[in-house]
Amino acid sequence: MKMTGLLSRRSNDLAGVVGTVRQVRAGSPVPRKLGSKDVAVLDLNRTSAATARAVVEADVAAVVHVPRPGEEMLPRAAFRILASSTIPVIEDADLAEVEDGTRVRIDEGVVYSVKTEGQLATGREVGPETLLSEVHAAENGYVESALAHLANATEFLSLEHQLLLDGEGLPGIDVDFTGRHVVVVTGDRASEAQLSDLKPFMKEYRPLVVGVDGGAELLRAARISADVVVATPTGVSDEVLTDGAVLVVPADRDGRAEGLERVTELGVGATTFPAAATARDMALLLAFHGGAEMIVVTGDDRGLENAFGASSAPSSTMVDTAVSSRLVHADACATLYRSRGAGIGLALVVLAALIAVAAVVVARDSAQDLLIWAIDAWNTFALWVQGLVR
């Protein structure tokens, strides 16, 4: 890094870069007042080129890159854009939970609170050459991971194409998915918050609920009854196994299933599902080939950021493709439902206003005039509400 650019940002009183934390969330607009006295905290793996350019144009004091836990660098343009600037970039210093407006001092990768001088996080400062070298390595690693992932996905397709295309080999269970909305809750870290966001949707549509591994525990903690649980018995509690849901136990293609003895000890019934797929994939296939109208799945998004990572099973690439015509991610479902709910709420406000106006008309005009006005107003209102819910 050009030392002149770095030194110009140093405080006369304290060593290092001093600035105010500004959290820049993925997908959110860059704060309008972002400037040279700020430290931009963001996940460069999910930062668009436009956002990176805006951060550089704001000439911030420093950028702190906070990726998701355990995630490798992705070859995003944001890294190259920052490498072409003189802005210090700090990696591995987790400031994700530090509040906006916190004054910090960054010296040799260590982040301190200006107020208390306590250490908030430890990272490392990377210069342009190091940053570009890391991006090149990330490009190679990303492509290699993709090739390996797609090779394994193709192998899965060769083994399970009959299951994917026609549902051959699906176990028979006493649950009718035909024409129903289905919510599949996984044990991924994002599922708990997504499940909370989905509660209004679930309250109105009463979908069938499928708990997958740790997702079954999340449902129980949220006091939501699962209709189906797809899980290895040794990975969930006795309470989940005995709650009354239809239990499906993943098994190898040769029929061997882990933990069946535990099910027997508890005196509950279970159906095995032999396939070279994950429990999540099995749940999606059960709903899809069972005739579900829509399948909402919780968990981490499966965009290109995560598509080829260690947490993404090759089988899921093929299964998601097979069920894509009915698959909706939990975040998208919650967003659409909130938009719809807002429109209905507005409709209720308008209805209340019409009632108030009617009261005034009653006080002033004849009953016949009121009847004519009420019919016209109601027809207009009904047509408007129909437009909201279409």
Residue 365 amino acid letter: D
pLDDT score, position 11: 43
Tell me if 44 sits within 8 A of 79, measured CB to CB. yes
Burial state string for 274-284 with b = 16 or more CB within 10 A and e = fewer than 16: bbebbbbbbbb
pLDDT score, position 36: 93
pLDDT at 257 over 90: yes
pLDDT in tens, 167-213: 999 999 999 999 999 999 999 989 999 999 999 999 999 999 999 99
- Name, in order, each residue with C-beta under 8 angstroms of 237's C-beta and a sequence gap of 6 or more: 217, 220
Tell me if 340 sits within 8 A of 389, measured CB to CB. yes
Average pLDDT over residues 329-356: 66
Please give the DSSP secondary-structure letter assigned to residue 10: B
H-helix or E-strand spanning residue 122: strand 119-122
Tell me if 86 sits within 8 A of 5, measured CB to CB. yes
Average pLDDT over residues 351-376: 58
- Highest mean pLDDT, choosing among 167-171, 200-204, 304-308, 357-361: 167-171
Three-point CA angle 279, 281, 283, nearest 5°? 70
Average pLDDT, the chain: 87
pLDDT score, position 389: 47
Among 96, 95, 81, which residue's Cα sits nearest to residue 131?
Answer: 81
pLDDT in tens, 91-119: 999 998 899 899 999 999 999 999 988 99
pLDDT at 281 over 80: yes
pLDDT at 141 over 70: yes
Average pLDDT over residues 316-337: 93
pLDDT score, position 69: 84
Average pLDDT over residues 162-166: 97
Burial state string for 347-371 with b = 16 or more CB within 10 A and e = fewer than 16: beeeeeebeeeeeebeeeeeeeebe
pTM for the structure as a whole: 0.77
Domains by residue range for the chain, with CATH: 3-126 (3.20.19.10), 167-334 (3.40.50), 335-389 (no CATH)
Residue with tokens 């051959």: 168
Sign of CA dihedral 181, 231, 69, 197: positive
pLDDT at 346 over 60: no
pLDDT score, position 345: 53
Average pLDDT over residues 361-378: 59
Residue with tokens 């591994």: 213
- For the sheet with 228-230, list strands across it: 271-274, 246-251, 228-230, 208-212, 181-185, 294-297, 327-329
pLDDT in tens, 10-46: 444 567 889 999 999 988 888 888 999 999 999 999 9
Please give the structure tokens belonging to residue 59.
């000439």
pLDDT score, position 71: 85
Percentage of the chain lying above the pLDDT 70 cut = 83
Say how far apart CA 246 and CA 248 lie, in whole Å. 7
Say how far apart CA 258 and CA 252 lie, in whole Å. 9
Average pLDDT over residues 54-83: 93
3-state secondary structure of 367: helix
Say how far apart CA 181 and CA 227 lie, in whole Å. 12
Average pLDDT over residues 297-306: 86
Average pLDDT over residues 347-364: 56
